[in-house]
């Protein structure tokens, strides 16, 4: 069996995430306590009793999603001994993947995620642009629409989530025009301002250039090691080859689109047979279903999915041992 862990990004947060783990596992409580100490506010209290409005703000959402995802990963590995062969992280999720693979210390990652979130939130405060999602439209058709709009306004595809779902970012006027043209072509544009858990900002686009020097300075303070398992970066759809490559990828994230489906294809060609959504909610599991209906992903935030995953893993181990014995 070949296991690929999939770590979600901002937008997967919800009030009450990890509540069961926090109640029953001391190790998870310690993970949240460490994160809270690093960032200077009670993260556990925020996700259990706070408001979704506050939790959605990038400076809170990013450390919260990273902590919840890492807690789910750590709990599952401790209980099962299952470690992934590969990993992919969706934007912020790439930082979580680095932590899970031992390439970045958890405390450093939490500190960076909080600072990264506060820095990126300035795009909303300074009204640098907006974002949304386009569904029910193919990549080539959307790229053609975007290219035509670019002659007048800045718009771009900032995330390739599935063959028929794309994140777009740009100037407000450009997105209004995109809305009209997508509608005429039979697709649908949904502004992030209409989606409660999404930050309406032009993340992963050239409109984030204004904070690039500060992001580079933050990344330069981090120390990295070689990942214990292979991570396919969504910046370029290629594997992270060495620790010295990581800083460049983390800063490039700010301006480059998320090549999620390209990274999935890369892992798929290597024969991944088990796909795990390692984060709050089921956003990644749902994107996998849209990407390829023949692939089943299992969410660690879903107890039924966990049971199915463990049964598949146990059956596979038994088959493997039986083959060895023969």
pLDDT digits (tens, 9 = 90+) for 249-290: 999 999 999 999 999 999 999 999 899 999 999 999 999 998
Q: Picking from 261-265, 311-315, 318-322, which range would have the lowest pLDDT averaged per residue?
A: 318-322
Under the phi-then-psi rule, with left for phi > 0, alpha for psi from -120 to 50, and beta for the rest, what region is 174?
Answer: alpha
Question: CA end-to-end span of the chain, whole Å?
Answer: 19
Confidence (pLDDT) at 324: 44
Q: How far apart, in whole angstroms, are the C-alpha atoms of residue 255 and residue 251?
A: 8
Please report how many Cα atoms fall inside a 13 Å half-sphere around the Cα of residue 311, on the Cβ side. Answer: 7
Q: How far apart, in whole angstroms, are the C-alpha atoms of residue 143 and residue 86?
A: 30
Assess whether pLDDT exceeds 90 at residue 318. Answer: no
For 258, phi then psi, to 5°, come to -85, 110
Residue 130's Cβ-count burial label (10 Å; 0-12, 13-18, 19+) is buried
The answer for residues whose C-beta is within 8 angstroms of residue 3's C-beta and 6 or more apart is 82, 83, 84, 85, 86, 272, 273, 274, 275, 276
Angle, helices 58-80 vs 26-39, to 10°: value is 150
Q: How far apart, in whole angstroms, are the C-alpha atoms of residue 265 and residue 245?
A: 21
Query: pLDDT for 47-96, tens place per residue?
Result: 999 999 999 999 999 999 999 999 999 999 998 888 999 999 999 999 99
The pLDDT of 232-237, averaged and rounded, is 95
Q: How far apart, in whole angstroms, are the C-alpha atoms of residue 258 and residue 205?
A: 10
Q: How far apart, in whole angstroms, are the C-alpha atoms of residue 64 and residue 36?
A: 10
Confidence (pLDDT) at 66: 98
SS3 228: coil
Assess whether pLDDT exceeds 60 at residue 104. Answer: yes
Confidence (pLDDT) at 326: 32
Ordered strands of the 188-191 beta sheet = 155-162, 165-170, 130-135, 188-191
Average pLDDT of the chain to the nearest whole number: 93
Q: How far apart, in whole angstroms, are the C-alpha atoms of residue 32 and residue 67?
A: 7
Helix intervals (H) in 221-257 = 246-252
Contact yes or no for 113/92 (Cβ under 8 A): yes
Assess whether pLDDT exceeds 80 at residue 33. Answer: yes
The pLDDT of 302-320, averaged and rounded, is 79
Assess whether pLDDT exceeds 80 at residue 116. Answer: yes
The pLDDT of 288-312, averaged and rounded, is 91
The answer for residues whose C-beta is within 8 angstroms of residue 91's C-beta and 6 or more apart is 9, 10, 159, 203, 204, 234, 253, 258
Q: How far apart, in whole angstroms, are the C-alpha atoms of residue 50 and residue 58?
A: 15
Confidence (pLDDT) at 159: 97
Q: Give the pLDDT band of residue 316 (cuts 50, 70, 90).
A: low
Query: pLDDT for 136-164, tens place per residue?
Result: 999 999 999 999 999 999 999 999 999 99
pTM given for the model: 0.94
Reduced to 3 DSSP states, what percent helix, strand and coil does the chain have, rounded to the nearest 5? 55, 15, 30
The pLDDT of 214-225, averaged and rounded, is 97
Assess whether pLDDT exceeds 80 at residue 293. Answer: yes
Assess whether pLDDT exceeds 70 at residue 210. Answer: yes
Assess whether pLDDT exceeds 80 at residue 319. Answer: no
Assess whether pLDDT exceeds 90 at residue 172. Answer: yes
Assess whether pLDDT exceeds 70 at residue 114. Answer: yes
Q: Which token pair is 7?
A: 């770590």
Residue 199: CB atoms within 10 A of its CB come to 22
DSSP, residue by residue, 136-152: S--HHHHHHHHHHHTTT
- Angle at Cα 274 formed by Cα 270 and Cα 277, nearest 5°? 110
Assess whether pLDDT exceeds 70 at residue 19. Answer: yes
Q: Give the pLDDT band of residue 321 (cuts 50, 70, 90).
A: very low
H or E element, residue 176: helix 172-184
């Amino acid at each position: 069996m070949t296991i690929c862990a999939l770590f979600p990004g901002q937008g997967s947060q919800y009030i009450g995430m990890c509540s069961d783990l926090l109640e029953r596992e001391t190790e998870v409580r310690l993970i949240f306590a460490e994160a809270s100490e690093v960032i200077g506010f009670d993260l556990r209290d925020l996700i259990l009793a706070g408001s979704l409005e506050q939790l959605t703000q990038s400076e809170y959402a990013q450390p919260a999603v990273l902590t919840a995802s890492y807690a789910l990963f750590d709990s599952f590995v401790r209980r099962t001994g299952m470690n992934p062969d590969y990993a992919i992280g969706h934007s912020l999720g790439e930082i979580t993947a680095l932590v899970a693979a031992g390439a970045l210390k958890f405390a450093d990652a939490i500190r960076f995620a909080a600072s990264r979130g506060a820095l990126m939130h300035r795009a909303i405060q300074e009204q640098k642009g907006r974002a949304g999602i386009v569904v029910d439209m193919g990549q080539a058709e959307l790229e053609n629409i975007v290219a035509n709009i670019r002659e007048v306004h800045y718009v771009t595809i900032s995330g390739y989530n599935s063959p028929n779902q794309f994140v777009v970012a740009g100037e407000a006027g450009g997105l209004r025009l995109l809305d009209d043209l997508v509608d005429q072509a039979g697709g649908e544009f949904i502004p992030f301002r209409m989606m409660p858990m999404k930050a309406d900002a032009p993340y992963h686009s050239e409109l984030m250039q204004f904070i690039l020097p500060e992001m580079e300075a933050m990344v330069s303070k981090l120390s990295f090691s070689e990942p214990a398992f292979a991570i396919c970066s969504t910046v370029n759809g290629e594997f992270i080859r060495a620790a010295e490559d990581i800083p460049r990828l983390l800063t490039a994230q700010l301006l480059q689109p998320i090549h999620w489906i390209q990274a999935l294809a890369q892992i798929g060609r290597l024969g991944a047979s088990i796909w795990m959504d390692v984060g709050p909610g089921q956003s990644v599991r749902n994107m996998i279903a849209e990407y390829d209906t023949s692939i089943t992903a299992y969410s660690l935030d879903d107890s039924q999915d966990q049971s199915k995953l463990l049964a598949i893993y146990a059956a596979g181990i038994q088959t493997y041992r039986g083959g060895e014995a023969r």
